[in-house]
């Protein structure tokens, strides 16, 4: 079984390509689920009383999508505030627009759109880190961290 604990990978270690592929596949599976949940047209506050396990699963999926997306957006916003918009890491400037657009999608309960934009931001950060190895990893920003000035 692949190790999916983000804390288990230190900056000195390389991520096993099989683990990375597994994570990409899991994200690929999550996006259609978010799209199906979004098509129902309700948020957890508007959910009907739970009558069967499908409704329970749907409510849990919406809550999971909200939590994952909210934590990722907070982490990305703090990271962008800390490292984007300057001369040191110019490759991150495009990340600001992605995070802003993802936050708008999230506010509109478009979790599929928000997660797709979050994924693009993560890919952009991975590309920026490949080009500029001194750029710190995103995981150094705690999930749910408020944006702070540098």
- Cα–Cα distances (Å) from 2 to 9, 72, 118, 135, 138, in that order, read 12, 22, 23, 26, 21
pLDDT given for residue 104 in this prediction = 94
Q: Are 132 and 96 in contact, with CB atoms under 8 Å apart?
A: no
Residue 104 lies in a domain: yes
pLDDT classification of 111: cutoffs 50, 70, 90: confident
* 31 lies in some domain: yes
pLDDT of 29 reads: 58
Residue 94 lies inside a defined structural domain of this protein: yes
CA distance 94 to 122: 11
- Cα–Cα dist 101/125, whole Å: 16
- Residue 102 belongs to some domain of the structure: yes
Cα 47 to Cα 136: distance, rounded to the nearest angstrom: 40
Concatenate the DSSP letters of all residues of 59-120 into one string.
HHHHHHHHHHHHHHHHHHHHHHHHHSSSSS-GGGHHHHHHHHHHHHHHHTT-HHHHHHHHHH
Name the domain count of the chain.
Answer: 1
pLDDT of 101 higher than 80: yes
- The arithmetic mean of pLDDT across residues 41-61, rounded, is 69
Weakest-pLDDT range from 5-19, 39-53, 132-146: 5-19
Domain of residue 97, residue span: 17-40+51-140
User: If DSSP codes are grouped into helix, strand and coil, which group holds residue 32?
Assistant: helix
**pLDDT above 90 covers what percent of the chain?**
29
Does residue 45 lie within any of the structural domains? no
Residue 26 lies in a domain: yes
1 part of a folded domain: no
- pLDDT of 10-34, one tens digit each? 333 444 555 455 555 555 556 666 6
Its pTM stands at 0.62
Mean pLDDT across the chain: 74
Residue 123 inside a domain? The answer is: yes
Q: What is the pLDDT of residue 58?
A: 83
Residue 57 tokens read as 């699963």
């Amino acid at each position: 079984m692949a190790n999916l604990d983000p804390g288990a990978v230190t900056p000195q270690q390389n991520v096993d390509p099989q683990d990375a592929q597994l994570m990409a596949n899991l994200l690929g599976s999550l996006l259609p689920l978010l799209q199906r949940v979004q098509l129902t047209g309700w948020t957890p506050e508007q959910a009907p009383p739970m009558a069967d396990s499908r409704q329970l699963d749907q409510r849990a999926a919406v809550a999971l999508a909200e939590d994952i997306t909210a934590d990722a957006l907070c982490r990305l916003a703090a990271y962008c505030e800390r490292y984007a918009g300057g001369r040191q890491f110019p490759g991150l400037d495009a990340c600001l627009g992605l995070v802003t657009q993802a936050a708008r999608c999230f506010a509109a309960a478009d979790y599929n759109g928000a997660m797709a934009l979050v994924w693009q931001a993560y890919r952009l950060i991975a590309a920026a880190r490949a080009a500029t190895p001194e750029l710190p990893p995103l995981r150094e920003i705690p999930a749910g961290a408020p944006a702070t000035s540098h």
